[in-house]
Amino acid sequence: MKKAFLILEDGTVFEGKSIGVDKEIISEIVFNTSMTGYLEVLTDPSYAGQAVTMTYPLIGNYGICYKDMESKKGWPDGFIVRELARVPSNFRSEDTVQHFLEKNDIPGISGIDTRALTKILREKGTMNGMITTNENYNLDEIIPKLKEYTVTGVVKKVSCDKIEKYVPGDIGSESVAADKDVAVIDVGTKKNIIRCLLNRGCNVTVYPCDFDADEVIASKPDGIMITNGPGDPAECVDIIAQVKKLADSNIPVFAICLGHQLMALAHNAKTYKMKYGHRGANHPVKNLETGKVYISSQNHGYVVDADGIDASVAKPWFVNVNDGTIEGLEYIGKPVKTVQFHPEANAGPKDSEMLFDEFMKMIGGNK
C-alpha cells in the first residue's frame, strides 16, 4: 500500500498507509468514539466538511450493508483509522469499507496512532489537517493553507434539491396506517429521522434547506421536524429567518442537532464552537423535568450558549451530564421542543427514541 501522511495545522505529522482514493484533501479533523456504526458515520451528512478519526482501533470488520446507509452517499472529506479490516466477516456484509471509500471518492489513512491523534485534538482542540500521499510535502507551504481553511456552504451541499414525499412502508419503514402529515426541513437529514416518523403513522414531506416557510405553513402539516446537519449554524442566516416563521406559526415543531441550534438562533440566543465537540454513541444527557439520564448518540461541534438564553423565551430541557452544556430546550408559550443529540440514532443507542413519541403527542398522533 502507498504511504500517506496526516499533517495537522500545529505541524504534527502522522505517517500511515493510504486507504480509499488517492486524493489530497484539507479538512477539519474530528474524532468519533463509537465502537460500532462506522457506515452510519460515513453516511451522516453532518460530517460534510470534516475528516473523521475513529477512535475504536479496528474498523470494517463487519463490512458494509447498504441498507444501513443514513443517506445516499458518503459525506466526510476523509477517513482516519488505526486498522482497516480488508476481509469482513458478517452474513449481512455486501462490500468492504475500502471499496465504499473508493466509490464515494473519499481518501483516508490507516496505520496511525489514533489515540495519540485524539489526545492532541482533545488538548489543543479541533484543528484543520491535510491527508496526502505526497512524500515531498513542504510544511512551510502547507501549514498556512491549513490555518486558512474554513468549513462553509455545507448545508446546501447535503440538503435535497427538491421536495420529496414518503409514506409508511418507504425506505424500510413499517407499513402502518398514516393519520398525520409531517413536514421535514432537510438541513442534512438522516434516513432514520424520516423512518421514525413513518413508523409512527406519518406521511412525510421533505423540504430542501432553501424552503419557504409560508409554503410549508400553507400546506397545513400536523407537525414540523427540523433535522440535523453540518457546519456553523450562525452561517445559515436565511434559514434562521424561515425557522423563526415556523416557530411563530403555532404548528408543533421538534428540532434535532443543527435544527436545535437554528431554532435557538432564531430566538436571539447565541452558539459557539466547542473545543473538540461531542461525537460518539455514549454521551449521557439528563432530562431536567424527570431527572432521568439517557445515553445518547451525538455529532456536533457547536452548542447553544446557556448564558444567552432568555428565560422568558425558552428553558433548558436536557443538559449534558459530562460538561453541563445545553442538550435540549422547551420554548415558553410555543409548541416547540428541540434537542442537541440524536434520538433516531443508528447504530444506537435507542434510549431516547421515545422523543419521537413525545412529538407524536404534540401533534395529537396515534401513539
Report H helices in 18-138.
38-42, 97-103, 114-124
CB 354 within 8 A of CB 341: no
> How far is CA 216 from each of CA 67, 165, 194, 249, 361, rounded to the nearest angstrom?
30, 13, 17, 10, 21
The correct answer on CATH 3.40.50.300 for the domain covering 156-362 is no
Short-list 301, 340, 344, CA closest to 319: 340
Active-site residue (options: 9, 40, 257, 278): 257
pLDDT digits (tens, 9 = 90+) for 165-192: 999 999 999 999 999 999 999 999 999 9
pLDDT the model gives residue 366: 58
pLDDT the model gives residue 3: 97
The pLDDT of residue 153 is above 90: yes
DSSP bridge pairs for 17? 3, 110
pLDDT digits (tens, 9 = 90+) for 111-141: 999 999 999 999 999 999 999 999 999 999 9
CA dist., res. 77 & res. 230, Å (int): 12
Active site residue 344: yes
CA dist., res. 329 & res. 178, Å (int): 28
Active site residue 209: no
- 50-54 and 3-8 strand pairing: unpaired
Active site residue 342: yes
Phi and psi at 365, nearest 5°, equal -75, 180
Q: In the chain, where are the structural domains located?
A: 3-151, 156-362
Binding-site residues from annotation: 46, 229, 231, 258, 261, 299, 301-302
The pLDDT of residue 348 is above 90: no
Binding-site residues from annotation for L-glutamine: 46, 229, 231, 258, 261, 299, 301-302
As a CATH number, domain 3-151 is 3.50.30.20
- 314-320 and 326-331 strand pairing: antiparallel
CB 28 within 8 A of CB 106: no
